[in-house]
């Protein structure tokens, strides 16, 4: 699955699935354009990647910043991986303040829209978009996380729309749905709830958490020629948790 000569833009690249995706695409020879609002984390990631990797400190909730970053990326983008997101235990829906709803939607959903909106004019036939959703909001009601759930469900619908709209131009769009993945964000989430987290892990048919690179490998596949006739699909990388 060589990506030699391909330009791959990844959001949320400072850690977790975005970071793992950056490393795998780099191994396949891709030229990387990495976006994240965590400047220190982004540059730490960059130190492990080829020197020509473009590192851009961007909050995807800021459309003008996203537009400027895409313009800096060059005249062509071959692959877009939307991985940027925030997550916490915010409480019941009626307890969540308006500003938090807006922040989550702006990053987790509108950030995906903004990145696609400005990258698509630079994408040609054979290009691919992979958007990260979650079992939360797609197959499961993860309590105390309503804004996250709604945003992730919206990503599935948006990606299908992209696939139908841009398929005639030869541009594919697919959704990845990770389950419970061991990432810095998920570790922060379970602090103080370790017993509940162990119980959830025990319900996964494969009886373990997923790893970020397992999701990243699925992203590399969907972006590759091996998936050239796959678009509008929703691929679960969840250890089977959607089954129970």
Output the six-digit token pair for 23. Answer: 């490393």
Distance between CA atoms of 26 and 4, rounded to whole angstroms?
9
Nearest CA among 1, 33, 233, 205 for reference residue 119 = 33
Query: Distance between CA atoms of 31 and 122, rounded to whole angstroms?
Result: 15
Tell me the H-state helices in the chain. 16-27, 39-46, 63-73, 98-104, 111-119, 146-166, 184-190, 194-203, 212-223
Q: Is 38 left (phi over 0), alpha (psi -120 to 50) or beta?
A: beta
Residue 229 annotated as catalytic: no
Which residue from 186, 177, 92, 175 is spatially nearest to 137, judged by alpha carbons?
A: 177
114, 148, 166, 229: which is the annotated catalytic residue? Answer: 148
> Active-site residue numbers?
148
């Amino acid at each position: 699955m060589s990506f030699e000569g391909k330009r791959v833009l990844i959001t949320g690249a400072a850690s977790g699935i975005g970071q793992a995706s950056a490393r795998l695409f780099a191994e396949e020879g891709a030229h990387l354009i990495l976006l994240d609002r965590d400047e220190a984390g982004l540059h730490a990631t960059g130190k492990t990647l080829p020197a020509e990797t473009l590192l851009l400190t961007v909050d995807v909730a800021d459309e003008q910043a996203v537009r400027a970053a895409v313009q800096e990326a060059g005249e062509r983008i071959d692959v877009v991986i939307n991985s940027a997101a925030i997550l916490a235990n915010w409480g019941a829906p009626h307890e969540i303040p308006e500003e938090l709803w807006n922040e989550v939607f702006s990053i987790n959903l509108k950030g995906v829209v903004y990145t696609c909106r400005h990258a698509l004019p630079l994408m040609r036939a054979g290009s691919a978009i992979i958007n990260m959703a979650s079992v939360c909001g797609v197959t499961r009601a993860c309590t105390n996380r309503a804004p996250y759930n709604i945003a992730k469900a919206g990503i599935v619908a948006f990606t299908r729309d992209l696939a139908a709209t841009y398929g005639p131009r030869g541009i594919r769009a697919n959704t990845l749905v990770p389950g419970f993945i061991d990432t810095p964000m998920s570790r922060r989430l379970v602090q103080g709830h370790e017993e509940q987290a162990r119980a959830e892990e025990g319900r996964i048919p494969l009886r373990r958490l997923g790893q970020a690179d397992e999701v990243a490998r699925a992203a590399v596949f969907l972006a590759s020629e091996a998936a050239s006739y796959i678009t509008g699909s929703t691929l679960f990388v969840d250890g089977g948790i959607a089954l129970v």
